[in-house]
Chains A and B, each alone.
Chain A
Amino acid sequence: MTRELAHLSDEALVALTARAEQSALAELYDRYGRPAYGLALRILRDESLAEDAVQDAFMAIWRTAPRFVPEKGKASTWILTLVHRRSVDVVRREQRRRTDSIDGTHEPRTHGADEEAWLRLQRERVQHALKQLPDQQREALELAYYGGFTQTELAERLGQPLGTIKSRMFMGLARLRELLGDTVMETAWTPTT
């Protein structure tokens, strides 16, 4: 399959998607379908629900692309945020929460030949940064982001005041940002030339 739009930036692809260019959406899928599916699967633990969540998210991309404002953030962030929201909405509806730590939870592991190097690199960088967070902050982020718990549910579950949960989430995200610097933030996609 040729990828004739492979040299365009994510943001340019979203702009073309906003004009209902299907090939642009296809290229976005080729770039982000895999991390999107991985995220949905991590949250939902069910292949068929994960597929539905990814499809819903890409339909949302298709329909709301005209409202994407590049000045407000990167396209990759927007796309993954949509996937995350859909997945969490479904997990809440299905009451299908899983709370295991992210290490060693998904099998089969797909490191190696079929996994593009940059995807593995990204994962290692973010996992490394997560490990450097204080345990309580990491726990709050993981339960919220991968587990789909609301802050109120988290406070109950962890037996902490809501204010404590809020501040752990805030500190965790802020610290993560520091730890990742601009490396992960800027290299989510390396265009082929």
Chain B
Amino acid sequence: MDTHDLTAAYALHALDDVERAAYEQHLAHCERCREELAVLTESAAALAWAVESPMPPAHLRGRILDATAADNVVPFRARVRRPWQAIAAVAACAAIGLGIWGATVNNSLHRARAESSTLHIVADPASRKVELNGKSGMVAVAPDGEGVLVVEHLPAAPAGMTYEAWVIPHGGRPQRAGVFRGGDDMTMVKLGMHVPRGATVAATVEKHGGADAPTSKPLLTAQI
């Protein structure tokens, strides 16, 4: 089979499973086909715009977001072995390299501050970064108090159990700040509570679903 001439059919998703597998194998070492495919795929995708597009049902957006938010674990796929300085540097480079930071700063520095997304908090030089005790990682806290817990090489929580993050204000009681599972090279958890100065961020292992107050000794802490 001459696989070169399957490029258009592949771009149109018009190959059967066997042909597709053969073509994908071919693609791995045919530079010419990869280039041609990139062009033909853009053409094929243009066909998507030719159809009527009624509004999708309003509930679809929520359904999709619910499905992705099954838990608040943020698996950070980059493999990094250094503590927080390196973590923050990697995040910042990724943001700059992809134009996120540039676009943000160019458009509105104001908005950039308002966007306290996880990556922004980690990458933002204005965030306070505190190294963890007990595990490798850090807590980053934005000037507005939004925080992110970053843990490296945290094994997945045992079956039926979960990790739970806590924000403990100075002299106060632990506040629930989200449950997470671990198991990634780098786990990033956006904390569900603002982190005041002097507070401690901690994580414990709890039964699935989390607990109202910590029931075990923290496996990691950071004093902000």
Contact = CB atoms under 8 A, between A and B. Distances in A.
Given A21-B119, A151-B14, A174-B40, A77 B52 contact: no
Contacts of A62: 68
B45 A19 contact: no
A154 B7 CA distance: 16
Interface in A154-193: 154, 163, 166-167, 169-170, 172-174, 176-177, 180, 184-185, 188, 193
A70 B51 contact: no
A22 B118 CA distance: 10
A38 to B, nearest CB: 3
| Overall SS of chain A's interface | helix
Interface in B26-55: 38-55
A54 B77 CA distance: 25
Interface in A48-65: 50-51, 54-55, 58-59, 62
A102 to B, nearest CB: 6
Contacts of B13: 84-85, 88, 144-145, 148
A72 B39 CA distance: 10
Given A20-B74, A144-B9, A170-B8, A180 B46 contact: yes
A99 interface: no
Nearest to B111: A4
Chain A interface: which size bin? 35 or more
Contacts, number: 222
Contact of A55 (B48, B67, B111): B67
Given A20-B73, A37-B55, 19 more contacts: A15-B95, A21-B119, A25-B65, A26-B65, A37-B60, A55-B63, A80-B45, A81-B41, A88-B13, A110-B54, A126-B46, A126-B50, A130-B50, A144-B13, A150-B14, A151-B14, A169-B14, A173-B8, A177-B40
Kindly list the 3 A-B residue pairs having the minimum CB-CB distance in the complex, ordered from nearest.
A38-B53, A37-B56, A170-B8
Interface of A: 4-5, 7-9, 11-12, 15-16, 18-26, 29-30, 33-39, 41-42, 47, 50-51, 54-55, 58-59, 62, 66, 70, 72-74, 76-77, 80-81, 83-85, 88, 102, 106, 108-110, 114-115, 119, 122-123, 125-127, 129-130, 141, 144-146, 148-152, 154, 163, 166-167, 169-170, 172-174, 176-177, 180, 184-185, 188, 193
18 contacts: A8-B103, A9-B103, A11-B98, A12-B99, A15-B95, A15-B98, A24-B117, A25-B64, A37-B60, A41-B51, A41-B54, A51-B60, A84-B48, A109-B52, A125-B49, A169-B12, A176-B47, A177-B43
